[in-house]
Amino acid sequence: MQSLIGTGVALVTPFNKDFSVDTEALQRIVNFCVDGGIEYLVILGTTAENATLSADEKELVITTVVAANKKRLPLVLGVGGNNTAEVVKELKTRDLSAFEAILSVSPYYSKPTQEGIYQHYKAIAEASPIPIILYNVPGRTSSNMLPKTVLRLANDFDNIVAIKEAAGDLVQAMQILKNKPAHFLVISGDDMIALPMVLAGGAGVISVIGQGFPKEFSEMIRLGLNRKVNEAFKIQYVLDECIDMIFEQGNPAGIKEVFQCLGIADNTVRLPLVKVEEDLSQRIEKFLKKNI
């Protein structure tokens, strides 16, 4: 799918200081990403603090992003969980006409076997009316989807079109890249190794930092895709300091601090997350003043 090549961003959900959803800030973030050259937007991923949103708030986020986007960029919707039946039910009842694909995380907390993971995605593939991006993030799920399982799913189901691979393991990603079917895309879920994964044959990234630095980060990925290695790494080595900082005290607290410094959105997060500490806030602000 050409629409999933390049840089996608996992959008935050900005909050007002009273913890309500800030729809105006969300519109500003969408426009900032569009104007900055991002290729597609991901709604209601982990970075959106999805677990803290009510059903009504999730609908508000979706309608706000769809309206603000004005069909300018492809949209991907996060639809996943560790209750397979509930995920299937949502896929069968939700209107997905505005979306290019769904992003579905490997079941968290339950720690299923590889066969359990396969059967979970098999049920999703049989229910979904639109393409599916697998999402492997062992640091959050406590369960690693192994390359053999990814490749089995990619070969067995035509509508499983990609994986967001966020194990932080370049060797694991390369095993998938080496053996995948031609149609299947490997998308980095780790900002720090997104460029090396692209150079190894990856299709791009679903990024956190990309929404704070859309122009710079998306250009880096495009340069990588075009094999302009030196130019791409020149950008990487500027941004890597900030990539470390935005994850230092948790996601999305770090990227929300970037938006606070840029005057785009407030840095409010919902418990159990808390704002970054003052020292980190000052370091992020210093980086922005120096480099942006």
The catalytic residue positions are 135, 164
Residue 150: other Cβ atoms inside 10 A: 28
DSSP 10-60: E----B-TTS-B-HHHHHHHHHHHHHHT--EEEESSGGGTGGG--HHHHHH
The dihedral formed by the CA atoms of 193, 167, 157 and 205, expressed in degrees to the nearest 10: -30
- What 3-state class would DSSP assign to 102? strand
Assess whether the previous peptide bond of 252 is cis (omega < 30° from 0).
yes
- What are the start-end ranges of the H helices in 143-251? 147-156, 170-179, 194-199, 214-225, 229-248
The amino acid at 198: V
